[in-house]
Amino acid sequence: MDTRWKPNVTVAAIIEKEGRYLLIEEHTQEGLRLNNPAGHLDPGESPAEGCAREALEETARDFWPTELVGIYLSRFQRPQTGEDITYVRMAFCGDIGEVRPDLSLDEGIVRTIWMTPQEVRDSADRHRSPLVLRCIEDHLAGQRFPLGVIHTDSAVANLPPLAS
């Protein structure tokens, strides 16, 4: 039996333009929730690559991470199912492209929405996680780190999976 604790690694795009932040509205087990464009890091990709992919899938816009906003640890419990999940989130800010009409939003995403910081604060009861607001507040405070603080070893993308 494997009892090693394995937190889920996620990446999030903190996208600001003209004083507004781009959030997504999505269906979750807890109902319709707001979130930063975010998702799980996939095998073989760096955190910045994963963030760009997730932002594209959830917003239908290209996103180019330029800086790390922060690394966050959070825990989520779903009593009705017994789930107890710890997340490590790496949040990036960067440049966003225009909507790509050739793409649709990922399954479960209802829409994208631009919100002022105060609108984000006022909607905290609808956030998927407390990290939605925390990442935006850190961005507003000017917290930024160069992408180079996260090193992705070449083995992540180059080693084939072990045969089972």
At 125 the pLDDT is 97
pLDDT in tens, 71-110: 999 998 888 888 888 999 999 999 999 999 999 999 999 9
Tell me how many degrees the CA angle 142-145-148 measures, rounded to the nearest 5.
Answer: 160
Residue 48 clears pLDDT 60, i.e. is over it:
yes
pTM summary value: 0.92
Cα distance between residue 104 and residue 119, in whole Å = 26
Q: Give kind and range of the element (H or E) at residue 46.
A: none
More confident residue, 81 or 53: 53
Name the range with the highest mean pLDDT among 46-55, 70-79, 149-158.
46-55
- What mean pLDDT is reported for the chain? 95
pLDDT mean over 60-80: 94
Residue 130 clears pLDDT 90, i.e. is over it: yes
Which residue's structure tokens are 């090693």? 4
Task: Tell me what the mean pLDDT of segment 131-136 comes to.
Answer: 98
The least confident of 21-35, 57-71, 150-164 is: 150-164
Residue ranges and CATH numbers for the domains of the chain are: 8-149 (3.90.79.10)
What is the number of other CB atoms lying within 10 angstroms of the CB of residue 15? Answer: 24
Q: What is the pLDDT of residue 162?
A: 79
Tell whether the model's pLDDT for residue 124 goes beyond 90. Answer: yes
Give every CB contact of residue 37 below 8 A, 6+ residues apart in sequence: 12, 13, 15, 22, 23, 24, 54, 55, 58, 59, 63, 112
1 — pLDDT class (breaks 50, 70, 90) = low
DSSP state of 127: B
Decide: 21 and 15 in contact? Cβ < 8 Å: yes
Strand residue runs (E) in 19-132? 20-28, 31-35, 38-40, 61-78, 83-99, 109-115
Beta bridge partners of 151: none
Query: How many CB atoms within 10 Å of residue 17?
Result: 10
* Tokens 């999030």, residue located: 12
Using pLDDT thresholds of 50, 70 and 90, give the confidence band for residue 160. Answer: confident
